[in-house]
Structure 1
Amino acid sequence: MINFQYLRTTSAKSALALLQKDKNSKFIAGGTNLIDLMKRGVTAPEKLIDINHVPLKQIELIGTKIHIGALATNSAVADHALIKEKLPLLSWALQAGASAQLRNVATVGGNMMQRTRCGYFYDTEMPCNKREAGSGCGALEGFNRMHAIFGTSDKCIAVHPSDMCVALVALDAEVVLLGPKGERKILFKDFHRLAGDTPQLDNNLKPDEMIVRVEIPLNNLAKHSYYLKVRDRASYAFALVSVAAGLELEDNKILSAHLAMGGVAHKPWRLTKAEEFLKGKEATEENFAQAAKLSMENAKGFGENNFKLKLAPNTIIEALNLAKRKA
């Protein structure tokens, strides 16, 4: 790890001012991913701007939306009464991530900004277009058991590692960003990017912006939602495949369906076709199976991850069945 400057700030305005002074600086809050990357030599910021004292830890209902500050910890959000009552899907997704110790310090904004856990990205001796553009993708012909089956490119097949972000995509959340010209909002599903020809770009955050909060509209999914994570071990493991499922039901008829997957793409993967298919239909095993089949259009394995082509639809069906029975 190289030497770096450490600065602390207490306001979003001053944090942005410090960021704009030095393009090779980064914000640090919980640091659960950033410090690892620095230790491995994957990233080497010359300046760290500590934003832990910026007042962005709120969790509150304002009008018809729940506002969650970027510096609220994962554990604070998962355990908050408002989240458990109104957005249990988000609570379950957060509890499925990392370990209790990491959740106690990891923040919402940091969770959104975390980078892939692809081994080729972390190994600076191996080719990785995400770490060094133009160097190649070692995973394409290498060890790719954990890698993407949707939205891949010949430049990168890494996956986004977050559980929280999968739930937020399914819940139609918005991200509020602060920059020199004030706040702007984007849909959460548009915050992260597919790899395409620029896998080094994980998201659509501008260099002079910071995340200040997430806004999630109230919904009628609380009674019938579930987060199902399939992984190699029960604790502290990233998803092979995960599904965030929410159903609005009336006499077993699906009024609306919300579905997203993790562990399968460079960004949380929204299952729009499956949602559209399920709307207005009965919540039956047959319809769930058809929705899962539709979800797998254009899926592609790369050898060691071919098992995901079967695991993914089975996980969708199981998540929908669990969401249906949840009440």
Structure 2
Amino acid sequence: MSGCDSTSSFDYISAANEVLNTEIDALQQLSQYINDDFCQACDLILHNKGKVVVMGMGKSGHIGNKLAATLASTGTSAFFVHPGEAAHGDLGMIEAGDIVIAISNSGESHEILSLFPVLKRLNIRIISMTGNPQSNMAKLADVHLQITVPKEACPLGLAPTSSTTATLVMGDALAVALLQARGFTAEDFALSHPGGALGRKLLMKLEDIMHTGDALPKVSPDALIKHALMEISQKGLGVTAIVDDNDAVIGIFTDGDLRRMLDKQIDIHTTKISEVMTCNPTVASPSLLAVEGVNIMQDKSITSLLLSEDDKLVGIVHMHDLLKAGVM
């Protein structure tokens, strides 16, 4: 046996590759079912004013849970309801005007079929996803999405493998097609993922992470260099802003400027900071998105960005703040 460091004589790699090939073949067969029925299902959901309720038993239920989550995060209001729980009260979560996506490979799930009469009475449209177009679920649904696979990857033909993969991919195709039809953007996605990395990049503003108040390093242009260095040391950002009497930014001094200044043997005890500061530094608005702040700092090759509002210094952001916030 090659490719595995194992004491077993069983060829794990061949078994795994057979699973991959079987499931790849199943997915290649799936494209024939992206047809008018698929378009009808998309239109039904796109123009629906209610919610999308996904149902499924067993492994189909696990896939249904994922489908509901994907729909919800891409612009379609959706949630999962367990058919068994629906029959014992959770059916009250479903209202007239909603759409139900019912998933079952056989299309004969008793727990789901027993709910059809009630769903029909409530005038709820049903989209079924089954591997059997002649099944009761397929025939009773308003729209049927076929997910037939040539065979399961399980050699016994018992464990749902290829069929659940095909269902998952059909669900993804449905969700992404709807995402594109809605014109759903990355910003829209971020609104439903505020705690994730994308949400931080697209929703966080510089004002959310900037240093303000007493933590904001600043001195007047008449301050001696030694006083500016004390400000830099106390605030711990490696930089200080130089502001006029109205707190308008007129310059900046960094620890890098200090190193260059020392090479010139300038007396820090008698020289004013205005004589060595960098004039007209880069200044941004605190309402700017943090990711845009990153772009500015990278373009200007700077590690700190001064923030001004109404011509007054209100904050400062260091590259480390952006890293800590997960924006970079």
Q: Which has the higher helix share?
A: 2
- Select the structure with the greater relative contact order (CA < 8 A; seq sep ≥ 6): 1
Aligning the two structures, in what range does the TM-score lie when normalised by the shorter sequence?
Answer: under 0.3
Structure exhibiting the larger radius of gyration computed from Cα positions: 2
Higher percent of residues as strand: 1
TM value normalised by structure 2: 0.20
TM-score, length of structure 1 as denominator length: 0.20
